[in-house]
Amino acid sequence: MRFRARQRMCTDHAFLAVQKAGKRFRHDGFLVQVRIRDNPPTCPRLGLRVGRKIGNAVIRNRVKRIIRELFRKHQANLPSCSDLIIVPYPNFLSVSYDSLKVSFQGLCERLQSPLTS
């Protein structure tokens, strides 16, 4: 599956809605804010907040590519009505990709459980 434009959160309104009504989950290397929407479109959406504390532009873009790839690979496991904001910590690149992958899979499972029960 590709990472399409409709899967991006682009507006400040969407980001603020997740920040106000969403839940926070801390993982190795990143923080995730999640909001389950009332009016579900067809796919989950991703928003990224990568600050300058992460590094220069080259490093920040690499971090974004890694996060988008994690989202792309695991989007089928996410609820279709979810909005995610991912905020990487400064130690993001020191955490192994496998550890990030396991953390993201755990997040996907955690988000599925309240919806199915």
In the structure, how many helices (H) and strands (E) does the chain have?
A: 3, 4
User: CATH number for the 7-111 domain, one of 3.40.50.11540, 3.40.640.10, 1.10.10.920, 3.30.230.10?
Assistant: 3.30.230.10
pLDDT in tens, 70-107: 999 998 888 888 899 999 999 999 999 999 999 999 98
**Residues 5 and 43: beta-carbon distance below 8 Å:** no
Tell me how far apart the alpha carbons of residues 67 and 87 are, in angstroms, rounded to a whole number.
Answer: 10
Closest CA to 62 of 32, 33, 10, 97: 97
pLDDT in tens, 13-59: 889 999 998 899 998 889 999 998 887 667 889 999 999 999 999 99
Q: Where are the domains of the chain?
A: 7-111
pTM > 0.75: yes
